[in-house]
Amino acid sequence: MALARRVLGAPWWAPGLLLDGALRQRYESVLPVQEFCAGLACIARQILPHPAWVPTLLASAGGCPSAGGRGQRPPSLPDLWAHMPPPYAGRVTFTADEMLGLLCALAEPPHFGTAGGRYPEQLDSLADAFRKTAFRRPPVRILDLGCGVGHGTLELAEFTRAAGMHADLTIGLTREPLEAWMARHRCLPHDPPRQEQLRALPGTTPVHFLAGDVCALPLRGTFALVVCNGLVGGPMFDAPREMAALLSQVRRVLAPDGVFCLANRFHEGRRTGIERFRRAAEEAGWAVSGTWRNLLLRRRGP
Ligand SMILES: C[S@@+](CC[C@H](N)C(=O)[O-])C[C@H]1O[C@@H](n2cnc3c(N)ncnc32)[C@H](O)[C@@H]1O
């Protein structure tokens, strides 16, 4: 670390520092992000249960051949640090005790922002939908796509229970196996305050967390309620072919009279992408209602 600082000279990266071409080049010439990530990915493969658990950010930087180039490669080390929370950002050396927290921070960077209480309008729309047929016929099954570390999934399961609906199965599915692990164990080694929030959420109904891709759902059977919040139209999921794949996957698993809800808290600049998704859904035969921040889709026809 001291050597890196000496060779790189000032200014050393700090949160909020403008990342321009000159700064990136300076860091790349001394500490190429690809090498840094390859080293971390190598350690990650030793300590995680399977190579597929290596966080996408490391895998996509070339550190993990089995990852097949998922995700975006950060152009320089400061770009990678900008995705990490304070205890880990701006550092090139870590102790063995810090590794799990570091990998969890890379799998679930702060900008994912998974937390409880993010979508109150969606819960209002659901209270209305619960009066409709699919929810009156037990068993009700719920699926939360792109669930992150599970705050929203647990909240949804509890909301459904409190509304008098018996959900015999709730599944949260997310891309990063480490996120699913964190959700399952309610353990966020990189973020103790959010871990406390997660642990405080009720666990009165069965909730399972899985790793998987929303474009290729590893699930059978049907769900009365499918939710996908904070994903579609955002920076991680705005390609038309991904949107089409999601719609077709949800059509396959949604009960005939079920609902598919998508809420987000993206900035206004993301609105166009979500409206593109809305049009794609209508063209694919879905009945769509709600606003760009809180969409509700129902299947039309068979
Ligand atoms: C911004 S977070 C939103 C988390 C949570 N739904 C919420 O709104 O609080 C987006 C989540 O989607 C997951 N994700 C991204 N692409 C995915 C994909 N193709 N399949 C499944 N999950 C994905 C990410 O790992 C991340 O947990």
Q: What number does the ligand 1 atom closest to the CA of 112 have?
A: 1
pLDDT higher than 90, residue 165: no
Q: Cα dihedral angle (167, 169, 174, 177), rounded to 10 degrees?
A: 150
State how far the Cα of 44 lies from the Cα of 51, in Å rounded to an integer: 8
Tens of pLDDT, residue by residue over 275-296, are 999 999 999 999 999 999 999 9
What is the arrangement of strands in the sheet containing 294-299, beginning at the earlier edge strand? 207-211, 167-174, 140-145, 223-228, 254-263, 294-299, 286-291
pLDDT higher than 70, residue 67: no
How far from chain centre, in Å, is Cα 226?
A: 15
* Percent above pLDDT 90 for the chain: 70
Q: Residues lining ligand 1, CB < 6 A?
A: 112-114, 118, 146-148, 152, 174-176, 179, 213-215, 229-231, 236-237
Instruction: Look at residue 62 in the predicted model and tell me its pLDDT.
Output: 47
Domains of the chain (ranges plus CATH)?
2-107 (no CATH), 120-299 (3.40.50.150)
**How many angstroms separate the alpha carbon of residue 174 from the centre of ligand 1?**
6
Instruction: Look at residue 277 in the predicted model and tell me its pLDDT.
Output: 98
**How many angstroms separate the alpha carbon of residue 237 from the centre of ligand 1?**
9
Q: What number does the ligand 1 atom closest to the CA of 231 have?
A: 10
